[in-house]
Chains A and B, each alone.
Chain A
Amino acid sequence: MTSTPDIIAGTPEKPRRATFDLIALLAAPGLLFLALIYALPLALLLFQSLRGADGSLGIANYVAFFSEPFNIGVLMRTLRVAALTTLLALLIAYPTAIAMNRAKGVWLTVFLVAMVLPMSLGVVVKAFAWSILFRANGALNQMMQAIGLTDAPVRMLFTETALVIGAANVFLPFMVLPIYAVLQQQQASLADAAASLGAGPFFRFFHVALPLTLPGIVAGGAFVFSLSVSMYVIPSLIVGETQQNLPMLIARSFLYLRNEQLGSTISAILLIIAISVVLGSSWLARRLGARE
């Protein structure tokens, strides 16, 4: 047995050795799988983007990409659609999460099923369902004409508006659930405490509810923004080739143009956007969390 003075002196009888936990080996298949199927191709892709047509290494491909106004337009559209989708998802998700937080028993189950069930339905099926809703003689146009909002059918299919609505629909659970999780950790009495101290509804919202849910909003925003930036199927089905985004441009470069350098370069740009969203949001979440 180790005696107490030894411990105090810092000279335990057994020399301390870095022990290797055999259980850690269980992670090996997963790590190997990721390394082979994810990290390696990604590294090759990045390498590809840095290689010129003549085989020399450099940022020529990036310069070429950014000097093309069409590409800048696609990049801007991608970011704009992602930002609008995130905003719309937030506006719908926030009240939903509050309602879910209040819900009990059967109602909570209904809410959770309503959040999770649509995820099991393929995006293709949803997109065709929307086209029934959005088309010229679709349900939405008929309704708007019936209540006298519009005189003639409004073009909604193949518009950015339809894309944002559709994408917000698909990604909604990724915004609701983080906000709901943050709300779940809050004491219900905080709102009562604020009210009893003389804070009206607006003051309570902006000084208590909103700051406390900000980490959830940041996390949900990061999810939805990253998903929106990299979506391919939804814009292909809703707006088609007329208004391309970055992932569609990538697919076109690889599949139709057979320009692997361009495709790799756009992929790398998309990757950089995604990584900065993740890093930026986790930095923001940590900064917000540090106060607590």
Chain B
Amino acid sequence: MRMQVIASSQPESLSVTGAMTPGDKRYLEVSMVCKSFHGVTVMEGMNLRMARGELVSLLGPSGCGKTTLLRVIAGLMPADGGDVVLGARNITLVPAHKRNISVVFQNYALFPHLSVSENVAFGLKARGETADMQAKVADALALVRMQGFADKSVTGLSGGQQQRVAVARALVVRPDLLLLDEPFSALDRKLRETMQVELKSLLRDRDITAIFVTHDQEEAMGVSDRIAVMNAGKIEQFADSSTLYARPKTPFVMDFVGLSLRLHGRVVGHEAGVSVIETARGHVTAPVDLPVGSAAIIAVRPELVRALDMTNAPVAAGCNTISAHLEDAMVLGSKTILHGRAEDGDRIVCELSGIHSGYRRGQTVRFEWNIEDTLAYAVGP
């Protein structure tokens, strides 16, 4: 079920927002990287390729190996096997301080004994690049709009300010690659969204290649050109956000990225690229070939589901339909979310645009969606 997906196998996913620099698609190439801790394998045969100037997110639950991969790329942790190549230079055995890869840490890791400008100057000093140091530091601080804080102590700064300093410190050395480990997780929601927009345009303007590590799917979708969804030490799918959302390759990706109406069932028939799956809510047709008799999961994104008031209306051609008692109707302003009563492990959810206040708990609602919007996965014999 799980597969490793590398960039070259998904050429269609490269057609992103247009800001991507054309050219070397193999700027960073991680191949066959393995890592285990105390005999427990956390990563095996990991492959990842990204282009120069690309913004990529490693997205996954905690323990999926995303931070391990980041540390291996940064050189902060040796891999047990495999290669890391950056800009045609094999850096597998190069120590971290000679890789020219900057890292923005989750807790920012600012040096508490140094001022804001001394923190930013640290990398230049460490490399002996002291020419024009003051000007470079001032430029970097201006870039993150922290020029007024140059002589301040870093311990008195707010979370957002500390993050700006960490970004300035990482960028002032002109890294070949920027790695960001959960950079927004310590910020409150509003600030997080502002910082995401700010950071993304800053990286775009300077044509910086960067990898974000995050467990927040909205953050990943917001800041990156492509997202590598990771689970149990493997990449399940590596694609742009619209592909991940509309065509998740595995049930894990479907569940992890976005919410879905989801039913378990068994394949009872198929013909010409169409399978029929029997679920607790009746038969559902899916536009994929699945072996008859295998257990399956069908899923639909909630905004593609329609709620019908007339429960007796005939089934429209090319549509799937199920009925359920309404468990809850949440009016959220810009959208209304209907939750239907479902069996354990299943979820019936429908997202309507705008305010729909006529729904009552317990009433029977018919849910309908197009067959072509149905996702289906075989999950066993």
User: Does B126 contact A197, Cβ atoms closer than 8 Å?
Assistant: yes
Kindly provide the distance from the CB of A66 to the nearest chain B CB, expressed in whole angstroms: 41
Task: Flag if B126 contacts A193 (CB, 8 Å).
Answer: no
B126: nearest chain-A partner, CB-CB: A199
Q: Quick check: which of A149-157, A206-214, A239-247 contacts chain B, the rest being far away?
A: A206-214
Question: Which residues does chain A contribute within 8 Å of B101, judged by CB atoms?
Answer: 196
Q: Which residues of A contact B323 (CB under 8 A)?
A: none
* In the complex with contacts A212-B113, A292-B112, A292-B153, A197-B122 CB distance below 8 A: yes
Q: How many Å lie between the Cα of A199 and that of B113 in the bound state?
A: 16
Provide the residues of chain A in CB contact with B74, threshold 8 Å.
192, 196
- A4 near B: Cβ within 8 Å? no
Say how far A243's CB is from chain B's closest CB, in angstroms: 41
Cα–Cα, bound, A199→B97 (Å): 5
Q: Does the CB pair B153–A195 fall under 8 Å? A: no
Q: Are A198 and B109 in contact (CB under 8 A)?
A: no
Mark contacts of B55-91 with chain A using CB atoms, 8 A cut-off: 1 yes-contact digit, 0 otherwise.
0000000000000000000111000000000000000
- The answer to the question of B123 belonging to the interface, with a C-beta cut-off of 8 Å to chain A, is yes
* A239-259 CB contacts (< 8 Å) to partner B: none
Known: A192-B103, A193-B105, A207-B122. A200 touches B97 (CB 8 A): yes
Q: Which residue of B lies closest to A290 (CB)?
A: B153
B100 in the interface (beta carbon within 8 A): yes
Say yes or no: B173 contacts A198, CB within 8 Å.
yes
A3 interfacial by beta-carbon distance below 8 Å: no
- Asked, given contacts A189-B105, A193-B103, A203-B126, whether A208 binds B97 with beta carbons under 8 Å apart, the answer is no
Q: What is the bound-complex CA distance between A83 and B103, given in angstroms?
A: 42
Is A17 an interface residue, CB under 8 A from the partner? no
Give residues of chain A (179-231) contacting chain B, Cβ–Cβ below 8 Å. Answer: 187, 189-190, 192-200, 203, 207-208, 211-212
> Of B100, B122, B170, which one neighbours A199 at CB under 8 angstroms?
B122
**Quick one: given A211-B113, A291-B113, A291-B153, are A200 and B107 in contact (CB under 8 Å)?**
no
Binary interface encoding of chain A residues 252-292 relative to chain B, with 1 for a CB under 8 A from any of its CBs, else 0: 00000000000000000000000000000000000000011
Q: Which residues of B contact A212 (CB under 8 A)?
A: 111-113
Chain A residue at smallest Cβ distance from B112:
A292
User: Are A196 and B102 in contact (CB-based, < 8 A)?
Assistant: yes
Chain A CB within 10 A, most for which of B101, B105, B111, B153: B111
Chain A's interface size range is 10 to 19
- A187 cross-chain contacts in B, Cβ below 8 A: 107, 109
For A190, the chain B residues whose CB sits under 8 A away are 109, 111
- Specify the chain B residue showing the minimal Cβ separation from A215: B113
At the interface, yes or no: B155 with Cβ under 8 Å from chain A? yes
Q: Known: A189-B105, A207-B126, A291-B153. Contact between A196 and B97, CB under 8 A?
A: yes
Given contacts A189-B107, A207-B126, contact A197 B173 (CB under 8 A): yes
Residue of A nearest to B115 (CB): A291
The answer to whether A197 and B169 have CB atoms under 8 Å apart is yes
Do B102 and A192 have beta carbons less than 8 Å apart? Answer: no
A189–B126 touching, CB < 8 Å? no
B319 at the A interface (CB under 8 A)? no
Q: For A208, what are the chain B residues with a Cβ–Cβ distance below 8 Å?
A: 111
The CA-CA distance from A189 to B169 in the complex, in Å, is: 15
* Interface residue? B38 (CB, 8 A): no
B96 at the interface (CB under 8 A from A): yes
Distance in angstroms from A62 CB to nearest chain B CB is 41
Residue of A nearest to B106 (CB): A189
- Which residues in A have their C-beta under 8 angstroms from that of B189? none
> Taking the complex as formed, is B190 at the interface, i.e. its CB lies under 8 A from any CB of chain A?
no
For B110, give the chain A residue with the smallest CB separation: A193
Interface membership of B127, Cβ < 8 A: yes
- Which residues of B lie under 8 Å from residue A211 when comparing CB positions? 113
Query: Measured between alpha carbons, how far is A193 from B107 in the docked complex, in Å?
Result: 11
B155→A292 contact, CB < 8 A: yes
Residues of B within 8 A of A198 (CB): 97-98, 100, 123, 126-127, 173
Are A197 and B102 CB-contacts (below 8 A) given A187-B109, A189-B109? yes
Contacts of B196-238 to chain A: CB distance below 8 A: none
Quote the shortest CB–CB distance from B118 to chain A (angstroms): 10
Q: CA A144 – CA B75 in complex, angstroms? A: 44
- What mask results when residues 117 to 157 of chain B are scored 1 for a CB within 8 Å of chain A, else 0? 00000110111000000000000000000000000010100
- Within the assembled complex, what's the spacing in Å between the Cα atoms of A9 and B56? 59
**Distance A291 CA – B153 CA, assembled complex (angstroms):** 7
Question: Quick one: which of B109, B153, B155 contacts A193, CB cutoff 8 A?
Answer: B109
Q: Which residues on the B side are within 8 Å of A199 (C-beta)?
A: 97, 122-123, 126
Residues on A with beta carbons closer than 8 Å to the beta carbon of B113: 211-212, 291-292
Please, which residues of chain A bring their CB within 8 A of the CB of B127?
A: 198
Q: Separation in Å of the B122 CB from the closest CB of chain A?
A: 6
Nearest to A203 among chain B residues (CB) is B126
**Cβ 8 A contact of B96, one of A196, A203, A292:** A196
Q: Which of A195, A207, A291 has a CB less than 8 Å from the CB of B76?
A: A195
The 10 closest A-B pairs by CB, nearest first: A197-B123, A199-B126, A193-B109, A189-B109, A195-B96, A196-B103, A198-B127, A198-B126, A195-B97, A189-B105
- If A193-B109, A196-B76, A198-B97 are given as contacts, then 15 extra A-B residue pairs at C-beta distance below 8 Å, sorted by A number, are A189-B107, A190-B109, A192-B74, A192-B109, A193-B105, A193-B111, A195-B76, A195-B95, A196-B99, A196-B170, A197-B169, A200-B95, A200-B97, A208-B111, A292-B153
Binding site for A on B (CB under 8 A): 74-76, 95-103, 105-107, 109-114, 122-123, 125-127, 153, 155, 169-170, 173, 179
A-B contact list, 14 entries, CB within 8 Å: A189-B107, A189-B109, A192-B103, A194-B111, A194-B126, A196-B103, A196-B170, A196-B179, A197-B102, A198-B123, A198-B127, A211-B113, A212-B111, A291-B153
